Amino acid sequence: MIVVTGAAGFIASCLVGRLNQDNFNDIVVVDNFSVAKKEDNLKGKHIKEYVDRENFFEWLDEHYEEVEFIFHLGARTDTTEFNKDVFDLLNLNYSKQMWNACAEYQIPLVYASSAATYGSGTLGYDDNEEIIPLLKPLNPYGDSKNDFDIWALQQTAKPFFWAGLKFFNVYGPNEYHKGKMASVIFHAYNQIKERGSMKLFRSHNPEYADGEQMRDFVYVKDVVDVCMFLMHHRKNSGIYNLGSGKARTFMALALNTFEAMGVEANIEFMDTPENLRDNYQYFTEANMQKLRSIGYDKPFYTLEEGVKDYVQNYLMEGKYY
């Protein structure tokens, strides 16, 4: 039996689909299932049981002997939310409770951290655990993820295997429900479909031309493949970057979206909103050497491959993974 939290969300629902592909069908999904627009993410998947996140730890106390692995991907992920209490409740304290339960029952655990922990990137993007206490995230979401990473590294009681994954800019199917927090590719597709053009943020940094801001965009299919690898690997516990390892520009992302849709490129620029400007990242790139060093050798989707697959096989078809 495998537990996936945040299961109705973007990455976790793709993971459930990926587990099903490998014939793992005894899956317990944990979430707040009251959000109707997330329901399609789990439709048609093989699921053993639905457990509300409020009731999960009581459920686990009864069923821990049957649980083989936990993927804790549930979190509040809104980077524009500034109520620290929300993040303390869902991202920090709930995760501590999950860790302690996995340590007590010796259940292996993979949990979602975030590249938001790196802040402006002044200390680089290396998943060196020694620098984690020195990182300065740019928003309460990033703080909550870094606070948990710091706490996890300080624990003497721990699951026999655990891994924290610093997700970079993940894109792909099953993010239809995410609204403003969906990937730029999702928004680009919808803008191009509606009006034949799309808007990117103008650069407010003299070192970067408009559209040349860079991010490490990682396709969700790679993310779930890494999760599968760790589920089978179960050694080399620690915190790992999970990006493509290659920064690409927003311009390249936009042009690939137009090409995948068969539409002539038409890109406009708009000012980055003032409330985002001071905390805007102009460059992120995951150093992926640590994950490679423990044996993950599968190549990552290039931006070209990922955008084409996402646009043509999911967005244009209205399909889910």
Q: How far apart are CA 24 and CA 152, in angstroms?
A: 28
Choice among 141, 171, 240, 310 that is catalytic = 141
| Residue 178 annotated to the active site | yes
| Residue 84 annotated to the active site | no
Q: According to the annotation, is 215 in a ligand binding site? A: yes
List the structure tokens of 311. Answer: 């646009």
Beta bridge partners of 5: 30, 72
List the structure tokens of 174. Answer: 């099953």
Q: According to the annotation, is 74 in a ligand binding site? A: yes
Q: According to the annotation, is 311 in a ligand binding site? A: no
Cα maximum dimension of the chain: 58
Q: According to the annotation, is 96 in a ligand binding site? A: no
Nearest to 177 by CA among 311, 313, 40: 40
Q: What end-to-end distance do the CA atoms of the chain give, in Å?
A: 21
Q: According to the annotation, is 75 in a ligand binding site? A: yes
For residues 246 and 285, is the Cβ–Cβ distance under 8 A?
yes
Q: According to the annotation, is 77 in a ligand binding site? A: yes
- H or E stretch at 70: strand 69-72
Q: According to the annotation, is 178 in a ligand binding site? A: yes
Choice among 45, 96, 158, 178 that is catalytic = 178
CA dihedral for 153, 155, 156, 159, sign (positive or negative)? negative
Phi, psi values for residue 31, rounded to 5°:
-175, 180
Q: According to the annotation, is 280 in a ligand binding site? A: yes
Q: According to the annotation, is 203 in a ligand binding site? A: yes
Nearest to 286 by CA among 170, 134, 173: 170
Calculate the CA dihedral of residues 318, 11, 140, 230 and round it to 10 degrees: -160
Q: According to the annotation, is 32 in a ligand binding site? A: yes
Q: According to the annotation, is 232 in a ligand binding site? A: no
Q: According to the annotation, is 94 in a ligand binding site? A: no
Q: According to the annotation, is 84 in a ligand binding site? A: no
List the structure tokens of 67. Answer: 């649980």
Q: Which residues are annotated as a binding site for NADP(+)?
A: 10-11, 31-32, 38, 53, 73-77, 145, 170, 178
Q: Which residues are annotated as a binding site for substrate?
A: 169, 180, 187, 201-204, 215, 280
Catalytic residue list: 141, 178
Q: Which residues are annotated as a binding site?
A: 10-11, 31-32, 38, 53, 73-77, 145, 169-170, 178, 180, 187, 201-204, 215, 280
